[in-house]
Each structure stands twice: as structure tokens, then as C-alpha cells.
Structure 1
Amino acid sequence: MNITKESIDALNAVVKIEISEVDYKEKVAKVLKDYSKNATIPGFRKGHVPMGMVKKQYGKSVMIDEVNKLIQDSLNKFLVEEKLDILGNPIPKVQEDFSWDEQEFSFEFELGLAPVIDVKLDARKKITQYNIVADEELIDKEVENLQKRFGKMSAKDVVETGVNVTGTFVNEEKEIEKKFNFVLEDIKGKVNQKKFIGQNVGAVVELKSKGLFADEHKLMGATGLDHDAVHGLEIPLAFTIEDITFTELADLDQELFDKIFGEGVVTSATELREKIKEDAEKQFLGQADQQLLNAITEYLIENTKFDLPANFLKKWLAVAGENPLTEEQAAEEFEKSEKGLRYQLIEGQVIKDNNLQVTMDELKDYAKDFIKAQMAQYGNLNPEEKELEDIANRVLGNQEEAKRLQDQLISNKLLGFYKENMTFKTKEITYENFVKEVYK
């Protein structure tokens, strides 16, 4: 057997595999011998079927199977030994005059080669790194929310300022019938709020979906529709009032502080505000980090220039799935996936160049930390090491879950690396303005 590679250009190559009878003859003979021991053919006892008859009946199909196995094994070994970094999978070239009736065969496979990538982290236009702070307005709202959560609730006869309203939104055309609870101040505009003022349980309020809530995301909860469906939604809604309540705010005293944080952790309204600020900014850090990673990703895709074996990849996409694609469909699929492939290659290069690979020990430790955080939410703050080990092994035994945790850990490593090796433009911003600026 002989395997050779011919380079077409920097991104394309052809591997040629030449196979002679001596390469597969022995394996075919062994398989046919096993067949003869178990073959059941009328007129012959089991195990006594003449080899000639076995060869006549099974020889060609066995030979084809063994040649195909030899091709696959040899090609895989060649790719590893030659250290060829390929994209997609090798594509066999069609041979019009090919015949399995021969004893010697020649096969050719097209390869798409990964490009050489030079990732530069010195951004000319500095990427913005947001420092999201909890301002006084946000802290005030959270203090009030806590007072409401632990406050005393009482029933009201009619709707008035500051009450909680529960009822059902209905729109027959969109098949909406959704129970929802809100405070009157969630409703946007005095005109809409006046429709509720003075109404009692059982009243039906006629509304329009557009501009109904100050926070447009509440329309998702009110209608049961997803984000895309409520975007620009303009339909009539009938709201039947089913319950009216008023929450008397809890006093800002030690009893409230102990209920929220545990005995003695917070001892004054000032400490409460500081704790709210600290906890909020910890949560904001995760969102800021995700936004920073997204911005870095976009920057690297835009500014890391390299060619791809586009024609090969389109051809591979056409035959890679369960259902073959037309040339047009494959080109469309390539266009949709090109951006993701480019970052995948950039990310792989950064990981390789800077030894950011994830080890099994790191993955297990990360899984344990994740499990500990989950358990802490349910009050188990000090789980035993054996319990953590057992749960981590079960979690990592699930391939999908292990892949998800591995991807998270790699993202964390990459972000840490980028923070150490890139310079950013830092911007302090409130959470409200962060949402407006980043998700506008």
C-alpha cells in the first residue's frame, strides 16, 4: 500500500491511497474462513461448506468491506502521522471508471486544510470594558422590594395607587388567556392607569398592548408570548380584575434584616444598602464579563484576517448531513456558519499558543465548585468531599453536561487570558444605562 499527499495550494490537498491484493488478501481469507465455519447452506452440514462456494457467495462483499476498513484506518493514521490539521472530513473523489472487479485499487480524497492564523491582541480601537455600578435609585428600589416582600398584605375593594392587581389578559385572535400580577405603577402612562383607578374585582379593563407596560418585558409575562412575538405587538387586550391587594411595607428594623440575611449579619439600614450594592455588583460583574467576551470575539473575527478553503467546505457541507444539499443550499449553509467557524479557529489558535487547554482535574474541580454553589442555594453550605466527588463523577459521566461545563471553563480561561493580555477602555455605568447601551 502506498499513500501520498499532493498539495493543491495552502488550503487544499489530495491524498492518494494505492492498495494491492497483498494488502487485504490475508484479512479477507480469515473472514471467509470464519464464514465457512458458521455458514448454513442447504445440502451441507454446518461447518462443512466448501471454501469455493463460500468465496463465490461472500468473497466480493467481504473484500469490499476489508478494503474500505483498510482505507479508513490508513487515512486516519496518515493524517495523524503527517500532523495535518483538516477542516471537515476528507471527501472521496468520484472515479467514473472504478470497478471492484479489479485486484488493485486507487482512491483519492480531497482535504480542506486549516489556515495558519496569527492572532493579534493589540486592539487599535480599544474595546470597552464596562464597570456596572448599583446607583442610589437601584438600591432604593431594591430596599422597597425587600420591604414589600416581607410586608403585610391586605385586600382592597378598589384599585388605587400602590396596589397589586391580579387578573387575566385575553385576546381571542392570538389565543391569549394569561393570568398575571403587577403593581399599578408597572402600567405606562396616566391614561392607562386611569382606566384601572376606582375599578373593583370583576371589572373588565379594555387596553392596547403597545406601550402598556413601562418595562416592555412585562408584556411577555402578561401575554405568555416570547420576546420576538411581543416586539412591536399591537393588539387589543381585555383584562379581568380578579384580586386587588395592598402591601404595607415592612419596617427597616433588625427583625427584617435578620429575616433577609440571617441573625446579626446586617444591623442597620446603611449596612443593608451596602450589602444590596455589593450583591448587585457581583451579579453585574457576570453580565459585564459576558459582554466583554462577546466584544472581544467580535473584534477578533473582524480583525484576524485569513482565508478558508471555502469551495471545499461548501462541497463537504453538501454531503456531510443525513440529507444531501444542493450547491445553493450548501453555499447558504456555509455563509451562515462561516463566522462561527472563524472564531472557532481563532479560539483554538489562542488556546494552543498559550497552553489554555482544560485538564480533567481542572474540569472536575470546576464541576465541584458548580455543584457546591447549587447546594448552597438549598442551605447545604458544607457538603462532604466524598459526596461532591460522587456527584461530580455522575455529572461528568453525562457527555452533554461535561461538554457544557468544559465550554464554560474554557470561556473563563480565555476571558482571564484576554484581561491579562489586552488593554481596554474602561467605562463606569449604571445597570439601566448598560442595558440601554449594550442591548439597544
Structure 2
Amino acid sequence: MATITRENIALLTDKLTVTLAKDDYFPAFEQSLKKYAKTVNIPGFRKGMVPSGVVKKMYGQSIFTEEVLRSVEKELNSYMSKEQLDIFAQPLPLDSDARALDMNNLNDYVFAFEIGLKPDFNVNVNDIKVTRYKINVTDEMINEEVNRLQIRNGKMTDPETVTSEDHVVNVDFKEVDATGAVVEGGVTKSNSLLVKYFTEPVRAELQGKKKDDVITIQLSKAFETKEREWVLSDLGLSKDNAADADKYFQLTITKVGLIEKAELNEEFFNTVYPGRDIKTEADFRAAVKAEIENYYGQQSSNQVHDQIYHHLVDHTNMEFPAEFLKRWLQTGGEQPKTAEEAEAEYPNFTNQLKWTLVTNKLINENKISVDPSEIKEFAKEQIKGYMGGQDFGDAPWMDEYTNRMLKDQKFVENTYFQLQTTKLFRLLETQVSAKEEAISAEAFAEKLHHHHH
């Protein structure tokens, strides 16, 4: 009869010792030998007629080892399930004092395992205090968005020469040195830029230029910080490298364009907001304002979720079986790790572990589940996203696409987890105490920049 003893060897770490007697593994071993003899192919013997002695001699030891280990695993799993042990990962084998398994020496065998137990902890959501930011939507923000929409829905014309800051120039960038000589193997790239993206002196230089004209610029002097970062990234250079910003480029104009902004009339209002029957500029601006407020409302909500996340991770006290987890980090992944690598990964790993335990506890306490129909709806929304947000109603191919996505086990699991977490955050948002604070869009952007998990 197999026996299992359990002793505590460190914080939240227990040692389970499994002792197998001959009766626990020998009948299964004999059974397997017989089964094997029926199916094995050995030259000189008819299939199913191989004497068990021959099978035992040739394959016995590996079958024996397999059966002993299978018996150990079965005993271990049944013990853990009966005792309802809530453990991390899998039990890790310790150096066993079991003699090398030998089918000719039927002994009691002893195997030892180490298990890491999950901690007990409390989560008090009512203690969480957050700030809900209400972003002031200014006239200037509405004007900017209206202007952007007019440009986006405008008509492109092809003037001969650059005469205004609103002109667009299509240019070929070619890297040169300070003397204007082309750099061998240097960066080359085509791009399209508004004249107003350049600094004042370059804008002045571009006036009157036409197709095939050439100017030479130095990136650090031709663009202000924001535009320069965008151009550097487009050229495959680093925005954090001063040497990259100091590079020179020859710009050849390949085309001059001008977008004539769409007029503020009913046709334009209907293009931007189809089916809303907007007649006046005032109503159009009100719709734009509502859209900006909606966008910032969502951002503000996400930021509250971020505050909740940080509070839960930083203020939930939890102990971990550290040595067990470090050992598991070394051996549990696809690639074995060194003790140093496991040590370095450990803080980040326990933060993620903590978050998983906290969310699991809250999801269970609040009985948050996700319906298959919600996963299907999410898949549909994703497909619409790929198609540029168009609504295809109940197009038959839409269902076919969706069902294909739902056959992907990984997609379903990830979506389930994502929707469950979103529901949890929405619920927590109603349970924490929030004070509202008015804030400008710039100050809010700063907060997002500094505080993101």
C-alpha cells in the first residue's frame, strides 16, 4: 500500500514523500509486459506469439521504469486532490533516495517532491481611492478636429509651385555629408510632408520651389522636436541619438500638392456623420465635441483602471514560496535558465503572479463569467476593425469568418480572459471611491505618460 507523508520545509513550501511497495507497481508492470508481448514485432517470432521472457529481456527495464513512475504520479495526484492542495505549477522532484529502479530487485521505492503553496491573502476594494479626471474640451480642440476633418475630406490639387504653408511636398530624402556629397550606403526614403512641418527658415526656402527642385537640410535645424521625432522614425533613425538628428539630407521635390479643405456644408456633415441629418455648423461642432468627450471619457476610465491595478498590486500583502518559484523558473519553461537568470526575473514574475491571484480571487468572489455569444461578438468587432470599421450587417461571409476565429483555441482563451478582466475593472470602477478632477488634455497626457502598467 503506497504511503505519502507531508512536511513543511520552508515558507509555503512542503515536501511530499511517496513510498511505493511492490504491490503498488508490480501487477501493472506484469500487465504491461503481457500487453506488449501481444503487439511487439520481433524478427523470428509471429506477432502475438513472442514469449514474455524475451519481451522482458529486451524491453522489461524501460517498461518497469515507466510503470513505477506512472504509479508515483497517480498516487501524488490523488493525494493532492483529496487534500485539496492549492499549489503553484507542478511538484518538483527532489533528489530521491530511491535506488536506481531495477526490475530484478523489487523493493519499496521512495520519491520526494517539493510543492509551492499559494498564499492566503485579503483584498479590500473599498479602501481604494482614485481620481477620475474630467478633460476640458476647449474650442481650440474642436477647431483643430474640424480642421483635420476638412483636410481629410478635402480635394487634392496640383499647383506648380509652393506658395503656402498648407502645401504638401512629396520628397525623396537622400543622405549627404556636411559638404553636400552623397553618403555611400546612406539612408534614402520617399516621404510626403506639409510645408508647415518644417522650421521657419526651411519654410521660407521652400517658397517658390517646384517639382525636381532640390534643397539640403540638417534634420536638427529643419524640424522642431515633435516633427523631427516622427521624421527620424520614418527614416529608420533613432530619436534619442543626437548624431542621427545632426545628419544632412538632400531633398528632391517629386510633387507639389495642396489639399483644398472641404466646405462646411450639409454634404460634408453627412460624409463625416452619415445618417445623423446634421444641417448647421453649430450642430456639427456639437457632434465633434461629443465625440472628443467620448474619447477622453474612455481614456479617463482606462486611467482609473490603471490606478486600481497599481493599488491592488502595491497594497495587497502576499507571501510567496520564493526558493520553490525560483527553482521552477529555472526548470519549468521551454528553455532551462541559470540561477542568475531566475533571480533577475523573479521580481517581475511575482508581480505578475500577484496580479493573477488577485484577479482570480475577485473574479470568483464576484462570479464574473463570459458568455460564448460575447466572444463571438468580440470576434465580429475585430473583423470590422480589420475592414476599416465598416458595418456589413449580417453578411453570410461574416459568420463564416467569425466561426473560423472561434475554432482557434488560443484566440478563444485570450478573448475570454480579456473580456473577464474588462468586466472586473468595470465592476471595480463602481466600487472604489473616486473624486473627480477637471484637467486639461495636456496635463492628462502627462499623467498617462508617467503612469502606465
Q: TM-score, normalised by structure 2?
A: 0.86
Q: Which residue does 2:286 correspond to in 1?
A: 274
Aligned mates of 1:2, 1:403 — CA distance in 2: 38
Aligned mates of 2:115, 2:184 — CA distance in 1: 54
Compared CA separation, residues 296 and 191, structure 1 to 2 (3 A): farther
Aligned mates of 1:176, 1:130 — CA distance in 2: 44
Aligned mates of 2:414, 2:248 — CA distance in 1: 41
Correspondences of 1:218-237 after superposition (within 5 Å): 219-220=229-230, 223-224=233-234, 229-233=238-242, 234-237=245-248
Secondary structure of the corresponding residue to residue 301 of structure 1: helix
Q: Which residue does 1:428 correspond to in 2?
A: 438
Is the aligned partner of 1:117 residue 2:129? no
Match among 289, 314, 319 for residue 331 of structure 2: 319
Compared CA separation, residues 121 and 210, structure 1 to 2 (3 A): farther
Segments of 5+ residues of structure 1 without an aligned counterpart are none
Q: Which residue does 1:99 correspond to in 2?
A: 100
Aligned mates of 2:273, 2:120 — CA distance in 1: 54
Deviation, structure 1 residue 67: 2.0
Q: Which residue does 1:243 correspond to in 2?
A: 255
For 1:297-317, what per-residue CA distance to the aligned partner results, in whole angstroms no more than 9, with x for missing partners? 122111112211111111111
Q: Which residue does 1:33 correspond to in 2?
A: 34
Larger mean CA deviation between 418-427 and 206-215 belongs to: 206-215
Deviation, structure 1 residue 221: 5.5
Q: Which residue does 2:209 correspond to in 1?
A: 199
Compared CA separation, residues 96 and 79, structure 1 to 2 (3 A): closer
Aligned mates of 1:286, 1:408 — CA distance in 2: 17
Match among 166, 169, 173 for residue 170 of structure 2: 166
Q: Which residue does 2:344 correspond to in 1?
A: 332
Compared CA separation, residues 325 and 123, structure 1 to 2 (3 A): same
Residue identity over aligned pairs, in percent, reads 28
Task: Tell whether the 8 Å contact from 2:329 to 2:342 is kept in structure 1 after alignment.
Answer: yes
Q: Which residue does 2:357 correspond to in 1?
A: 345
Match among 171, 188, 192 for residue 177 of structure 1: 188
Larger mean CA deviation between 342-351 and 215-224 belongs to: 215-224
Deviation, structure 1 residue 139: 1.2
For 1:336-379, what per-residue CA distance to the aligned partner results, in whole angstroms no more than 9, with x for missing partners? 32222221222222222222243545544554565677779224
Compared CA separation, residues 196 and 72, structure 1 to 2 (3 A): farther
Task: Tell whether the 8 Å contact from 1:372 to 1:383 is kept in structure 2 after alignment.
Answer: no
Correspondences of 1:411-422 after superposition (within 5 Å): 411-422=421-432
Deviation, structure 1 residue 197: 3.1
Task: Tell whether the 8 Å contact from 2:116 to 2:321 is kept in structure 1 after alignment.
Answer: yes
Q: Which amino acid aligns with 1:16?
A: T
Deviation, structure 1 residue 19: 1.6
Segments of 5+ residues of structure 2 without an aligned counterpart are 176-182
Deviation, structure 1 residue 390: 5.2
Secondary structure of the corresponding residue to residue 146 of structure 1: helix
Deviation, structure 1 residue 268: 0.9
Correspondences of 1:34-183 after superposition (within 5 Å): 34-95=35-96, 98-101=99-102, 102-103=105-106, 104-123=108-127, 126-159=129-162, 160-171=164-175, 175-183=186-194
Compared CA separation, residues 78 and 364, structure 1 to 2 (3 A): farther
Compared CA separation, residues 223 and 328, structure 1 to 2 (3 A): closer
Task: Tell whether the 8 Å contact from 2:169 to 2:257 is kept in structure 1 after alignment.
Answer: yes
Task: Tell whether the 8 Å contact from 1:210 to 1:232 is kept in structure 2 after alignment.
Answer: no
Q: Which amino acid aligns with 2:301?
A: D
Larger mean CA deviation between 409-418 and 369-378 belongs to: 369-378
Deviation, structure 1 residue 92: 0.2
Secondary structure of the corresponding residue to residue 149 of structure 2: helix
Q: Which residue does 1:21 correspond to in 2?
A: 22
Compared CA separation, residues 43 and 366, structure 1 to 2 (3 A): closer
Deviation, structure 1 residue 427: 2.5
Deviation, structure 1 residue 252: 0.8
Deviation, structure 1 residue 211: 7.2
Q: TM-score, normalised by structure 1?
A: 0.88
Task: Tell whether the 8 Å contact from 1:179 to 1:222 is kept in structure 2 after alignment.
Answer: no
Q: Aligned residue pairs: how many?
A: 435
Compared CA separation, residues 156 and 391, structure 1 to 2 (3 A): closer
Larger mean CA deviation between 69-78 and 48-57 belongs to: 69-78
Is the aligned partner of 1:209 residue 2:213? no
Task: Tell whether the 8 Å contact from 1:2 to 1:17 is kept in structure 2 after alignment.
Answer: yes
For 1:205-235, what per-residue CA distance to the aligned partner results, in whole angstroms no more than 9, with x for missing partners? 3333347555727734564367x93235523
Task: Tell whether the 8 Å contact from 1:13 to 1:112 is kept in structure 2 after alignment.
Answer: yes
Compared CA separation, residues 194 and 403, structure 1 to 2 (3 A): farther
Compared CA separation, residues 141 and 237, structure 1 to 2 (3 A): farther
Larger mean CA deviation between 246-255 and 43-52 belongs to: 43-52
Is the aligned partner of 1:407 residue 2:411? no
Secondary structure of the corresponding residue to residue 45 of structure 1: coil
Aligned mates of 1:22, 1:186 — CA distance in 2: 83
Aligned mates of 2:208, 2:127 — CA distance in 1: 59
Task: Tell whether the 8 Å contact from 2:33 to 2:55 is kept in structure 1 after alignment.
Answer: yes
Compared CA separation, residues 211 and 232, structure 1 to 2 (3 A): farther
Q: Which amino acid aligns with 1:203?
A: D
Secondary structure of the corresponding residue to residue 226 of structure 2: coil
Larger mean CA deviation between 407-416 and 276-285 belongs to: 276-285
For 1:83-137, what per-residue CA distance to the aligned partner results, in whole angstroms no more than 9, with x for missing partners? 222123211001256310243211111011111121122446x322223343211
Q: Which amino acid aligns with 2:256?
A: I
Deviation, structure 1 residue 62: 0.6
Q: Which amino acid aligns with 2:167?
A: V
Match among 288, 295, 302 for residue 283 of structure 1: 295
Q: Which amino acid aligns with 1:224?
A: D
Task: Tell whether the 8 Å contact from 1:132 to 1:428 is kept in structure 2 after alignment.
Answer: yes
Q: Which amino acid aligns with 2:322?
A: A
Task: Tell whether the 8 Å contact from 2:172 to 2:254 is kept in structure 1 after alignment.
Answer: yes
